[in-house]
A and B are shown apart, each in its own frame.
Chain A
Amino acid sequence: MLEQADSTVQAPQADLTSQTSAEDFEPRIVALFCNWCTYMAADLAGTSRMRYAPNVRVVRVMCSGRIDPQFVMHAFARGADGVLIGGCHPGDCHYQEGNYKALRRFRLLRRVIESLGIERERLRLEWISASEADRLRKVADEMAADIRALGPLQLSIPAEEFRNAEGAGAEIPSPEIAGETAAKEVAVP
């Protein structure tokens, strides 16, 4: 478990450094689509030669109920600017009620990521049936535009920064000086 935690300390953000200025910011959106509805809609959009924002990277899962909140956290930690979850409409789940489980997790997860400073627009859940290719196009485009407006997700993962700084023999982002500055900056009410 510790080793796993280590590898995730080092891996995230490697990609983020390739993002540069605000103008050429292209949002990275990880889309988790269920096999039976939303993925089929994406397939239909493809065969219908529809165009939608290429920022959306689709991962197919069997059911939206399979989407573990860890997947979402992992996507954000590894440089996704947004996560889009797609499932069957309520009542239409191939496995009866997987999409209700997805909805419950989504409603709680969104509260948690907001408390951690991640804007709610960065996590979206949509019900898109196999025939709704046009809706898929609309949602993908909308989300890409929303996140472009928000800008890149800037996580602070100092654990990684500190450790890398130490390993490379570089200067640790001088806590001494930072500490002194902060002590001065905290205003007396």
Chain B
Amino acid sequence: MSTAAGGPATGGLPPNTIIAIGVIGGLAGIYLTMLNQTFNTTIFSVMGGIGSIFAVVWGADAVRRVCSYGLGTGVPSIGMVALGMGVVAAIFGLIIPETGILPIPAILGPVISFIVAALVGLIIGLLSNKVLNMNIPIMEKSMIEIAGAGCLVMMGLSASIAGSFAFNDAILPSVVSTGYIAIVFIGGAMTILHPFNANLGPDETQFRTLYVAIEKAALTMVIAGFASLTAIDAVSAALTVLVGLAIFLVYFDKFMKSVHREAYKVVGTGLLPSAEELE
């Protein structure tokens, strides 16, 4: 279905700015959870959740750019593949330094995950364009971005649940074995794929789409914070939940204001527009 006409998405922040925000914000959030080990606390787990919000903004914007080539709601399906690979890449990258097969310091784990995700995204993009003949100009680039952003979201949320991105000591027991990896995966995927789908149409604007992205990422952060009750202490979990709720409320309000400002009209109730009105 192609309700957004075929052509590059326009308006708002340029793609490169958003990519920078996503990569730097996402990785910074993940790495800031290391303050937990430095200060022997778990209070900094909240940073993982905040990092995931930055990555979601990037991912949602990448979906927006590729979808405006007329793929419409078809992209969530391909995006799911990219995000599935994102979670595999995340686990692969975090586990590689810990196996000791390659002499890589554990601190590089998230960066390796990110690079592997980007490579897998490239392969998926090439397959879509060259083998499935979708012929969308920015497909490869977008798939790299969606997989990369997805990988950062998964790592950010996992780190905020487990309190650390160390795989064997933290993420395996508190995220994978408990099954919370399910909400990390689908929560991260839906926050990236839903915003553009929810705003699809010729009068879509970048800011409204990104408000939805931030507000939904904050909701996922709230659930991740609640899940972290079983892994880290209650105060740190409560902090993640409260910060998530605050971000959600602020950006849900921004979304609503933007709807009231930009819609044709918002009415309490009423009949359908008359034939004269439609002309």
Indicate whether A and B interact: no
